[in-house]
A and B are shown apart, each in its own frame.
Chain A
Amino acid sequence: MARTYSTRRKILTTAAAWGVALLIFFPVLWMILTSFKTEASAVASPPQLFSADWTFENYAEVWSRSDYPRFFWNSVVISIGSTLLGLAIAIPAAWSMAFVPGKRTKDLLMWMLSTKMMPAVGVLIPMYLLFQRLGLFDTKIGLVLALMLMNLPIIVWMLYTYFKEIPGEILEAARMDGASLWNEIVHVLTPMALPGIASTLLLNVILAWNEAFWTITLTTTKAAPLSAFIASFSAPQGLFYAKLSAASTMAIAPILILGWFSQKQLVRGLTFGAVK
């Protein structure tokens, strides 16, 4: 028996749903609109939804005058680098946990997740000193390592939940046919696991791009990504609202768009398959 809904009711719920969604989205929308205003109309009172003097000036200025391109590039290198390195280390681990589980596999997975619970700030000082000592402080490679290790448990978990859904019989068949371990991984497992790997990659690029603890504490200027740059954009005193908005819009735009594409996978990925 299908439920029937009156059109009236659908109109009401649609209106309510759009109202709530726009309210939630409004701060982002307002930031984007502000980024196209002049500094004067950005702080106009009462606030103007659309200003008469629409301009791209802020973007041009942010991009050309500050070190913005460098921060942007650092974000790209750090988020993609740490994710790829993490995948390279996590894929074999998740593969063997999913297909050759031992008695301890579940404990091991739980232990990995529990390392995420350790407050990063608890180990801030040693990390700071180690990074200084090893010459990793304020370097991209240092941040790639730190973020890779920070997200490694999540990467292993996500891959594990995806790999577990691949039927083991197919791998066994390949093995019977004489495929070596290497061939098994490259020619059988990887193509089947590719969708899972892709969404793990996407989600971890997002997490790494938005990370705002190690990126702020382990950098000064050279390797600082956008998160550190925006965090230090302190007390703009009204005069820089439009430029702050332009810088912020550029900082979140790539991830927002990636996020929109990956939102279907987001729930599965971040709940480690517990909610599908």
Chain B
Amino acid sequence: MATQSSRIAARIMVAPSVILLFVWMIVPLAMTVWFSFRLYRLLSPDRTGWVGMRNYTWFLNSPDFWLAISNTLLLVGGVLAITIIFGVLIALLLDQPVWGQGPLRILVISPFFVMPPVAASIWENLFMHPQNGMFASLALGLGYQPVLFMEDYPMASVIFIVAWEWLPFATLILLTALQSLSSEQIEAAEIDGAGPFNRFRYIVLPHLTRAITVVVLIQTIFLLGIFGEIFTTTQGGPGSASTTLPYMIYKQAVIAKDIGRAAAGGIIAVILANIVAYFLMRGIGKHLDA
């Protein structure tokens, strides 16, 4: 059994991680709260002072704000939907007896290891570029006009690129979960006369619930912060058409150089993320055996 001294030693060993994480979280957050109530523009550094809630009201009333919120939700929801639906389908396919399971897994997982700026730049330039991209050549070859992906469908293009990066992750996790499903159960259902759809609906899908929950949790953590892909491709444009909440805050801070307003946006983003996190952690905490 753990003795008193080993308990104390344990606390001491946990301390650096907890303190570092706490400082890393709380110091910048406190500074952001402070800035969010102040007039602070890098372009006019002499004019400072308290402005109460004005940064917040500006941010919440900006027409870009609701667009950014809906773009963020569209990005997270769209990527989750695509990766889970196709992830389940591809995992079901790879779970069948096929030749070359090993190489197949390597091919399928590869996009996950491609860094976001590279993924974005391959798709933007080699495929979606309206003059030199492969899609443009294909369209012209078939007698159509090339699609202006980044101009006409910026959000859909970003969602597509991000979904390509995350599809392997979802597929691999769902495949791993599928492989732990006992074949006896499926066979028993088959003997009882359950068709492929019913076998999927009543045996496979319930078995995958835990894996799907985990995919949702982990992808949401990463998807809420998507930045590199937008920075590399559309820069949030045209106009604000593909500006997400993180990108809107980035633009306020780095391009408009209005620290106060960007900070207010940051606090709004933190509050929204906490709401999402609360529900996710409640739903998923029981699936992680801590």
The answer, yes or no, to whether A47 is at the interface (CB within 8 Å) is yes
The answer, yes or no, to whether A256 is at the interface (CB within 8 Å) is yes
Considering only CB atoms and an 8 Å cut-off, how many residues of chain A contact the other chain?
Answer: 99
The answer, yes or no, to whether A162 is at the interface (CB within 8 Å) is no
A112 touches B21 (CB 8 A): yes
B11 touches A273 (CB 8 A): no
The answer, yes or no, to whether B43 is at the interface (CB within 8 Å) is no
Q: Which of B98, B104, B168 has the most CB of A within 10 A?
A: B98
Among B138-166, those with CB < 8 Å from A are 140-141, 164
B21 touches A115 (CB 8 A): yes
The answer, yes or no, to whether B90 is at the interface (CB within 8 Å) is yes
Interface of B toward A, CB cutoff 8 Å: 2, 6-7, 9-11, 13-14, 16-18, 20-21, 24-25, 27-29, 31-32, 35, 90, 93-94, 96-100, 104-123, 125-127, 129, 131-132, 134, 136-137, 140-141, 164, 167-169, 172-173, 176-177, 180, 183, 187, 210-211, 214, 218, 221, 224-225, 227-229, 231-232, 245-247, 249-250, 253-254, 259, 262-263, 266-267, 269-270, 273-274, 276-277, 280-281, 285, 287-290
B249 touches A124 (CB 8 A): yes
Among A87-131, those with CB < 8 Å from B are 89-90, 92-93, 95-97, 99-100, 102, 105-106, 108-110, 112-130
| A124 in contact with B122 given A149-B24, A252-B113 (CB within 8 Å) | no
A17 touches B93 (CB 8 A): yes
Encode A255-276 as 1/0 by CB contact (under 8 A) with B. Answer: 1101110010011001111111
| A123 in contact with B14 given A230-B115, A230-B118, A276-B180 (CB within 8 Å) | no
Q: Top 4 closest A-B pairs, CB basis? A: A212-B228, A96-B10, A92-B13, A123-B28
The answer, yes or no, to whether A251 is at the interface (CB within 8 Å) is yes
Question: CA–CA, A105 to B2, complex, Å?
Answer: 15
Q: Which of B126, B132, B280 has the most CB of A within 10 A?
A: B126
A10 touches B98 (CB 8 A): yes
A102 touches B227 (CB 8 A): no
